[in-house]
């Protein structure tokens, strides 16, 4: 976590006059108490009204508000556009999170920036292709890739023939209209790409440990080698 992000999180934990110890903050932010002491000293030196001391705890006096978020015009366009694209083309959870993020951002923007965010002329329409459960599959595969969970799935090819696969998901890629999952296929013993709209059934099949030759880094290296020799 970047220091700026950590300082922001400390302020969030101290809001509302709650007494919080350095040990509690260190555990939540996964750093050492010594780091928290330095961060608290930095915040106090910056004018944040924090009371307390090491070994006792810290609290922030009421009345202190965080400054409003400041974004340039181009940054606002990028954030709003990205959120709208996810609402139209992302997974079910991604779309909901994007909508919530827009609400939160809009709530803390200064008035002039809020007006600009409402005038962004980039829009996206909900995609409709193939089987409509691809949105849930997208969330499921992204989560499985993050947690190293094998997936048992039924997959149909372009002719509609179905096969059962056990895959190790490495990530999901968007190609402008179609989402694909890149994975190590245990049936083929090779990297494969699977269109999400052709997955008919999907369920967890236990954890896997990254193995040499079967990781995303290995996939990229294999693709680079193939491109170089073609």
Tokens of 191: 């990297």
Q: Which of 95-99, 115-119, 123-127, 158-162 is least confident? A: 123-127
Q: How far is CA 212 from CA 48, 173, 181, 221, in A?
A: 49, 22, 20, 12
CB 166 within 8 A of CB 186: yes
pLDDT at 122: 83
CB 98 within 8 A of CB 87: yes
Per-residue pLDDT of 149-200, as tens digits, reads: 999 999 998 888 999 999 999 999 998 878 999 999 999 999 999 999 999 9
Q: Looking at per-residue confidence, does 217 or 128 come out higher?
A: 217
End-to-end CA distance of the chain: 41
CB 191 within 8 A of CB 225: no
What's the pLDDT band for 206 if we cut at 50, 70, 90?
A: very high
Domain topology for 134-228 = SH3 type barrels. (2.30.30)
- Across the chain, mean pLDDT equals 86
Which ranges in the chain are annotated with CATH 2.30.30? Answer: 134-228
Region 3-60: CATH code = 1.10.10.10
How far is the C-alpha of 152 from the C-alpha of 225, rounded, in Å? Answer: 29
- Look at residue 152 and give its three-state secondary structure: strand
Average pLDDT estimate for 137-159: 94
pLDDT at 163: 95
With CA atoms as reference, report the closest residue to 185 among 157, 151, 217, 209. 151
pLDDT at 198: 93
What's the pLDDT band for 76 if we cut at 50, 70, 90?
A: confident
Which ranges in the chain are annotated with CATH 1.10.10.10? Answer: 3-60
Average pLDDT estimate for 41-53: 86
pLDDT at 166: 97
């Amino acid at each position: 976590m970047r220091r700026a992000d950590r300082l922001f999180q400390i302020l969030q934990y101290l809001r509302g006059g709650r007494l919080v110890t350095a040990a509690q903050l260190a555990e939540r932010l996964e750093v050492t108490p010594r780091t928290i002491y330095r961060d608290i000293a930095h915040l106090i030196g910056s004018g944040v009204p924090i009371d307390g001391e090491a070994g006792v705890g810290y609290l922030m006096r009421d009345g202190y508000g965080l400054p409003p978020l400041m974004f340039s015009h181009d940054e606002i366009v990028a954030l709003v556009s990205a959120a709208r694209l996810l609402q139209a083309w992302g997974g079910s959870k991604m779309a909901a999170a994007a909508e919530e993020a827009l609400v939160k951002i809009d709530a803390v923007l200064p008035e002039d920036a809020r007006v600009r965010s409402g005038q962004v002329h980039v829009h996206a329409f909900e995609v409709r292709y193939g089987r409509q459960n691809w949105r849930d599959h997208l969330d499921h595969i992204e989560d499985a890739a993050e947690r190293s969970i094998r997936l048992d799935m039924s997959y149909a090819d372009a002719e509609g023939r179905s096969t059962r696969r056990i895959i190790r998901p490495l990530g999901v890629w968007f190609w402008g209209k179609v989402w694909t999952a890149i994975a190590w296929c245990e049936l083929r013993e090779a990297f494969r790409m699977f269109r999400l709209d052709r997955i008919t059934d999907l369920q967890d099949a236990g954890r896997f440990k990254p193995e040499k030759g079967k990781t995303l880094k290995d996939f990229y290296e294999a693709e680079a080698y193939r491109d170089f020799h073609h």
